[in-house]
Amino acid sequence: MIRRHLSYANVAATMALVFAMSGGALAASHYLITKTSQIAPKVRKALKGQRGATGPAGSQGKEGSAGKGGATGKEGATGKEGPQGPSDVYEVALKESTAVTAAGTNRTLTLSGLPAGSYAIYGKAEIAPTEINVSSSICTLTAGGEEDVGYHPLSTAAQYIVHVSTEVTATFSSTATVTMACSAVADKWFLGAEGTRIVAIRVANRHASTAAAT
């Protein structure tokens, strides 16, 4: 058996170790850093590292639910009135009834001075026969390269006044003239002033086409 002998050296060493351990624990407890304000500013600056490189963008998250609609805003002020569109109307009416005219002879009403543009044009003639024959009345409305022909039979029993209607659409590149020429085929006749006129209405655009009958 090995006996342990106490000596001054052993006792001194043991006491030194105990004081060292208790002093270290006390120091650790006393100098424990719990917030950055305990570190000197120049030390914190020295400890701060450089900013690292930006990492790759993450995948897009799911779209969130729609938020509530905002309140209706105030109605804005009324805008300025725009320029007037091309909606002028041009008309010429027969001033007075014509004299009695021989069968097959034309009487022509003219609407002149139409400015360039697109138009819807209507013509109406009042035909009054002075004879009772197998006959008909005819009117031709001409506007540039456009033309419309209207017919109406005349009575073989009485001298009935009839009205012949025509209409065309046309576009003029310069100042234009429209005419409506009328006649009766086999009767003497005259053109009545009360129902004979040409009306041309200028429009913004003309869209003309043809189509098959169905």
Task: Please answer whether residues 127 and 162 qualify as being in contact, where contact means their C-beta atoms are separated by less than 8 angstroms.
Answer: yes
pTM exceeds 0.85: no
Task: Give the max Cα distance, the chain.
Answer: 170
Ordered structural domains, the chain, with CATH: 89-203 (2.60.120.660)
The token pair at 46 is 């020295």
Backbone angles phi, psi at 87, to 5 degrees: -125, 30
Residue type, 156: T
pLDDT tens, the chain, 214 aa long: 444 555 555 555 555 555 555 555 545 555 566 766 667 777 666 666 677 788 888 888 888 888 888 888 888 888 888 776 668 999 999 999 999 999 999 999 999 999 999 999 999 999 999 999 989 999 999 999 999 999 999 988 888 999 999 999 999 999 999 999 999 999 999 999 999 999 999 998 899 899 999 9
Q: How many CB atoms lie within 10 A of CB 25?
A: 10
Pairing of strands 107-114, 146-154: unpaired
